[in-house]
Structure 1
Amino acid sequence: MTVDPLVVVQILVAAAQDMVLALAVGALACSAMLERQPSACPATSAALGRSRLAALVLLVLACGLYLWLQAAVMGGTPFSEAGPVVSAVLTQSHFGIAWSVGCAGAVLACFGGARRGRTAGWVATAGMIVYVAGKAAASHAADAGDFTLREGIHVLHLSATALWAGSVIVAAPVLWRWNSNAAVSTEATTVASAGPANRVAFCAQLSHLATVALAVVIVTGIYNATQDTAHLTAPLLGVLYGRVLALKLVLVTLAVLLGGYNRMIYLPRLQHTAADGGPAYRDAQRSFDRLLAVEAVAMVAILVVAGVLGHTSPSGG
């Protein structure tokens, strides 16, 4: 089966959109968790703010590139000649309406991401939700129409996925930065002893957040899969959509196992050894961080496969 090179590029751009959205959501979530720490590092919070804004700007740019690619695919024209088709796509197609909603949400999120404070955070959150709603309206979930239960559940699924994946992906470098700051710290003993406690509290919040987001991802994902494959007459693994879905499920299972092991084994060890901050605590900390880093890699793979799945017809095409 020959695949149009423009469609391949579309899939890559869609995966990039999922990635930068997850990074923006993860940066926002990690910032909120750090703000709850009594001695959070201002430099880390500032770095997260910059990362969130950069991700949102990239999201807007990726939206524009995706529109151009979609116009080229729908118009059957080369990439360089798709300009005249863009206007028609925007004004005469359902995709154009959905794209406009999503892009408006991404721009709104940028305005919120460019500022600091709780209000700005809520503006960024609202913008990202609007973006996700536009994305859902342009997906398989909108086959039965807009403002349906299926489309609403897909919005919830995409949002929970971004929160689950993004919080893990962003938390991995946050904890690495935290460790680096601790390694060069010459603060007083009281501050040093507060470090492990704050770090463990952050890890516990991350674990709880990821667990709740994962539960939503699983429930909504099952619903989406049953809806997408309801009309299949061939065996699920006999069509491309089924094979891509199976790969995604394998990666999700791997991420769940990694996160579950961290939550059940290393997080309790961190909590039990944080008081003295001795070798046992440092060993548990390194193990937790390594497992989190592997989980973050699995999350990146999940987002890439999700981009492919979103461009694969459930009917077996």
Structure 2
Amino acid sequence: MNLRRAPSRMMNDDPLWLAQTAFAALADLAFACALGTLLLNAWLAREQTFAQPGWRRAARGCSIATIALVSCNFACLWLQSAAMSGAPVLEAGASLWLVATGTHAGIGWSVALAGSVPLLLAASGAPLSMSRIGSAALAALIVAAGKSAIGHAADAGAFSVAEGVQTLHLLATAAWGGIVIAGAFVLPALDTSVARAVLIRTVARMSKAASAAVALVILTGLFNAWRGVGGSLAALTASAWGHALIAKLALVAAALAFGALNRWSALPRLQRSASTMDAHTVINVMRIEAVMMAGVFAAAAVLSHSVPGSALAG
């Protein structure tokens, strides 16, 4: 069996490439939803009984998201084994252990899978304690570190600055997207007159946390993008990787626009009026932003599985 480091590909008609990209996107989305629902779980657990429907929805969503994360990370490791061994997908299990322990990409997926398991354990059950929050934070860091070792940042070497920046980028993006997507799922459970004050406080917390995550996403994203184009903007138009980056940036800009609309317009109106109409506006704008963020994760998966513009430029 000839194991090799499977190169990033741009063969959009290759079923294995498509499967790897799809499961990587689903893993990123599940990771984000796990972080977002964990945060909402922690915030709503401290609220009054009016918030219990929202807390239960957040806890249920967190369990589903972390189960999906474990499953998708295992699927990604299995597909990586098929890509590296050249075996059919259904027969890739024969080389799974060798790929998982003897190749850089396999180790990266193994680390991500290993981190997702304690994240699942921390997310299940009763309201989060401080120890479980700490365990979840450490598990999230392990997942992000494993993912950063799989993509283009790994070309700079293990434990490099590029990998460190990519780890922060993945964590910040997951936190931002997770807060938005989880909010779109959980907040309708708080859309009642008796829980209106809880809804307003929760959206305000979400807005502050998302703003901090966005700042980190932008800083680390600029570093990654400049490294990816190799200092030449020509790579944006001359490669499929560049086209995917443009699509991702457009989706990020759209998500930022809807987030700003909520933070600076819809939320202040809700805080002043506490009306049902303004509550619906906040939730509906967040739902649109959530769709944009799902697109961001899909574009990011395409980027990570395509040849970067800097490599194509020479």
- The TM-score normalised by the length of structure 1 is 0.89
Report the equivalent of 2:4: none
Residues 40, 210 of structure 1: CA spacing in aligned structure 2 closer, same or farther, 3 A cutoff?
A: farther
Root mean square deviation of aligned Cα: 1.9
Q: How much does 1:86 deviate? A: 1.6
Which of the pair has more CA radius of gyration?
1
- Residue 83 (structure 1) aligns with: 93
CA-CA distance at 1:59 after TM superposition: 1.2
- CA distance in 1 between counterparts of 2:196 and 2:55 reads 18
Of residues 8-17 and 288-297 in structure 1, the stretch that sits farther from structure 2 once superposed is 288-297
Q: Which residue among 40, 49, 57 is the counterpart of 2:59?
A: 49
Q: Secondary structure of 1:143's match?
A: helix
Q: How does 1:26-175 map to 2 (within 5 A)?
A: 26-116=36-126, 117-118=128-129, 119-175=131-187
Aligned mates of 1:145, 1:40 — CA distance in 2: 50
Give 3-state SS (helix, strand or coil) of 1:41's partner: helix
Q: What is the CA distance between 1:82 and its match in structure 2? A: 1.5
Amino acid at match of 2:169: H
> For the structure 1 residues 233 and 258, does the alpha-carbon distance in structure 2 shift closer, same or farther, using more than 3 Å as the test?
closer
Write out per-residue CA displacement over residues 206-264 of structure 1, whole angstroms, 9 at most, x where no aligned residue. Answer: 11111111111111100111112216695421111110000000000000001101111
Task: Tell me how far 1:142 sits from its aligned partner.
Answer: 1.3
Gaps of 5+ in 1: 184-191, 275-280
Farther off after superposition, 42-51 or 196-205: 42-51
Counterpart of 2:25 in structure 1 is 15
> Which range moved further: 201-210 or 80-89?
80-89
Matches within 5 A, 1:172-191: 172-179=184-191, 182=192
Match of 1:292 in 2: 286
Give the secondary structure class of the aligned counterpart of 1:224: helix
Check conservation: 1:241, 1:316, Cα contact below 8 A: no
For each residue in 1:21-50, what CA deviation from the matched residue of structure 2 results, as whole angstroms up to 9, or x when unmatched? 111001011112223434552232123222
Q: C-alpha separation between the residues in 2 aligned to 1:2 and 1:200?
A: 44
Tell me how many residue pairs correspond in the alignment: 299
Change (3 A) 1:304 1:197: same
The equivalent residue for 2:207 is 207
Q: Is the 8 A contact 2:44 2:52 kept in 1?
A: no
Verify the 8 A CA contact 1:17 1:62 in the aligned structure 2: yes
SS across alignment from 1:42:
helix
Amino acid at match of 2:187: L
- What code does the residue aligned with 2:114 have? A
2:182 & 2:244 partners in 1: Cα distance?
Answer: 26
Matches within 5 A, 1:164-313: 164-179=176-191, 182=192, 192=194, 195-230=195-230, 234-274=234-274, 281-313=275-307
| 1:108-166 Cα deviation digits (max 9, x unpaired) | 11221224332223212211211111111111111111111111111110001111001
**What is the rounded CA distance, in whole Å, between the counterparts of 2:261 and 2:296 in structure 1?**
19
TM-score, with normalisation over the residues of structure 2?
Answer: 0.90
Q: Secondary structure of the residue that 1:77 maps to in structure 2?
A: coil
Separation in 1, partners of 2:120, 2:185: 23
Verify the 8 A CA contact 2:57 2:189 in the aligned structure 1: no
Structure 1 residues 177 and 90: alpha-carbon distance in aligned structure 2, compared to 1, 3 A threshold: same
Residues 236, 245 of structure 2: 8 Å contact kept: no
